[in-house]
Amino acid sequence: MSHLSDITLIIPFHNEARRLDSTTDGLMTYFRTSESRPHMIFVNDGSADDTRTRLEALCEKLRNCVPESTFNMVSYDKAGGKGWALFQGILACKTAWCLTLDADLSAGPRELDFWQERGWLHMDQDRVFIGSREMGIREGLATSSALRRPVSVVFNRLVQRWTGLHLDDTQCGFKLYPSAIAKEIFTNLSDYGFAHDVEVLLRLRNMNVPVAPLAVHWQPEKGSKVNVFSDGWQMLKVIRTLGKRYTQHP
């Protein structure tokens, strides 16, 4: 794959108008400094602010800057959750591979170039590559706050115990899928909220699709939509149910 041109980047947005200046700057810098020319799909997940209008402007700006890539938006009125937004973007994807990433670009598109430069991407095989912030921390590529770090470690250990997934970071939004596999995996999830990542990984395991965790550079951004305590507890309850279901009904 030359310069990663057969990949579509998919970013979900829900009421992110205030963050879009930073996102725009990050994407413009990436395309101006990288030889890679992926395509992009932005998903407006029922935002009540002017996210949609801002995304339309961003698409136009990127089209003018990078005419060899396509930049499109999927938008709908009723919010369905992060997993649902990603699913809508995946359904609209026309390339062989799709990459999901978060609106704050904590792990941005340059990680693709980094993975390729390291020789980690073997994209002739049907496997999924997922970003691991834990691996990034161990390699000195990522940072975490004194509060979030121990909570994340406990969360990950509980996920491993309840699901049998031998992964140290299931929640990083930076994930690279063969598009055909992504479309199958994301269809009819029981949870399209923030716990969808775990169900996706459980489905991949049950389909015998290899999952390769890779280190990412990651810098936590302010304004996270996930509260590590209240949201984390709700996610764990959903994940425990998912673990039982997929263990009993592989």
**DSSP secondary structure letters along 168-229:** S-S--S-EEEEHHHHHHHHTT-S--STTHHHHHHHHHHHTT--EEEEE--B---SS-S--TT
3-class DSSP assignment, residue 21: helix
* pTM for the whole structure: 0.92
* 113 pLDDT more than 90: yes
Give the integer Cα–Cα distance in Å for 141 and 147.
Answer: 19
Q: Of 95, 111, 121, give the one whose Cα is nearest residue 40.
A: 95
Who contacts 90 (Cβ-Cβ below 8 Å, separation ≥6)? 10, 98, 100, 177, 179, 182, 183, 186
Cα of 209 vs its chain's centroid, Å: 18
Who contacts 53 (Cβ-Cβ below 8 Å, separation ≥6)? none
Write out the E strands in the chain: 7-13, 39-45, 71-76, 97-100, 128-132, 175-178, 211-215
Mean pLDDT of the chain: 91
pLDDT digits (tens, 9 = 90+) for 182-217: 999 999 999 999 889 999 999 999 999 999 999 999
pLDDT of residue 5: 81
The superfamily CATH assigns to domain 2-248 is Spore Coat Polysaccharide Biosynthesis Protein SpsA; Chain A (3.90.550.10)
Give the integer Cα–Cα distance in Å for 40 and 10.
Answer: 6
Take residue 100 and report the two structure tokens written for it: 């999901």
Q: How confident is the model at residue 224 (pLDDT cuts 50, 70, 90)?
A: low
The structural domains of the chain, with segments of one domain joined by +, span: 2-248
